[in-house]
Structure 1
Amino acid sequence: MRSVRIFLSVSIFITAFIGDYLVFHSRYSNSFVYRALTDNFIHASIGFLSALLFFENILVTRQAWLYNVIFCTIVASLIDIDHFVVAKSIHIKDLNNLKHRGFLHCSSLWFAVTSILFLYSYLHRKLNIYILTFMLTIAYTSHHIRDANRRGLWFYPYGHTQPIPKYLYITVLSILPMIFVYVFQYFKPQSKDTVVQYSMLA
């Protein structure tokens, strides 16, 4: 329904806008733990809402819908786990003094991985992998674009872009799932299998 799509798009906008305030301008923002947990929750929330908006326009089984929405939400959140890899520690002091970004924040890496999955699923008509590819794409783009408001996008080996203005990045996040819907429908492989089989990736 159009009203649901509008509601979800506006929800993404509001979540990103309020989320930035909660992370950086609330009375608790001086706490690194608070900022980290709240920031990660906002990433997960935007990933969740983006997946809902995507599937508002894509017909799949209830099981496929559930698996994929959960998967997208988790990936959008877990991207920040590379902070521990860079810090080589789980201590707050080390996590608060990172010298560079982790590999999961490299947009080039995710683009390469999802491009390979996209081509494989398209050529071999694997609709389950095709849907999974879009969940990964929604998860990483929503996370990276939100982070880009502060640090830009990282395209190895070319470096970082300029930071993306706040209202521009929030607007992009709000409409990006719909753009992915059009791409999904245009290249959609013909297959009756709509349930993601994660064992196929092993």
Structure 2
Amino acid sequence: MTASGIFKIATMVVFYLLAAALTVAVSATGDFVTAQSKLPWLRALADNATHGLVALLCWVMVSGKPLQAANVQDSILCGLFGCAVDVDHFLAAKSLKIEDATNLGTRPFLHCSSVVLASLLAAALMGKLYGQVLVYKVALIALVAVASHHLRDSIRRGLWLWPFGSRSEE
């Protein structure tokens, strides 16, 4: 291996370590702000923004092309998908009030990890199988966004794996 090859690998390793550290820092900061806030709208905003930033950073790490400008749009889309998962709270509450959306008796439908992730994986596989590059790419971006959202939520509530149920300490 040449010196330039070793340098390129070392650069990528450092990049991924820094990106992973930044992801942990963003998540910890978001959790801290969420836990400290007494205002429901600020808690929801901090939690949702954290989901978006974590999803964005996860796409940067898993996309395989973190230093390319073309990846910026995909990373932003992943972040937006990471935020969009929580829209189901308002749908389940049948209300736009933050208090209603954050005080549900059960978890909303987009938080069912097994069904949502299996559906996105199936969409990605179908896109790949039928040569639909855009379907494949968007499904993978959504898969990373939803997986990062669910894994971050699972720290507090566990994963909801239908038909097996969920661990919940709420």
Q: Give the TM interval when normalised to the shorter protein.
A: 0.7 to 0.9
Q: Secondary structure at the match of 1:100?
A: coil
Match of residue 144 from structure 1: 150
Match of residue 71 from structure 1: 77
TM-score of the aligned structures, taking structure 2 as reference length: 0.83
Task: For 1:185-200, list aligned pairs within 5 A.
Answer: none
Counterpart contact for 1:86–1:100, Cα < 8 Å: no
- Alpha-carbon distance between aligned partners in 1 of 2:157 and 2:73, rounded to the nearest angstrom: 32
Q: Secondary structure at the match of 2:105?
A: coil
State yes or no: 1:51 paired with 2:59: yes
Paired letter, 1:58: K
Q: Secondary structure at the match of 1:22?
A: helix
Counterpart contact for 2:124–2:137, Cα < 8 Å: no
TM-score of the aligned structures, taking structure 1 as reference length: 0.71
Q: Which gives a bigger RCO, structure 1 or 2 (Cα 8 Å, sep 6+)?
A: 1
Q: Report the CA distance between 1:70 and its aligned residue.
A: 1.7
Counterpart contact for 1:87–1:94, Cα < 8 Å: yes
Q: List per-residue Cα deviations over 1:125-154 (Å, max 9, x = no partner).
A: 333333222211110011001111111111
Q: Secondary structure at the match of 1:99?
A: coil
State yes or no: 1:109 paired with 2:115: yes
Long gaps (5+) in structure 1: 164-202
Q: Structure 1 residues 59, 18: CA separation in 2 closer, same or farther (over 3 Å shift)?
A: closer
Root mean square deviation of aligned Cα: 2.1
Instruction: Report the identity percentage.
Output: 30
Q: Report the CA distance between 1:59 and its aligned residue.
A: 8.1
Paired letter, 1:144: H
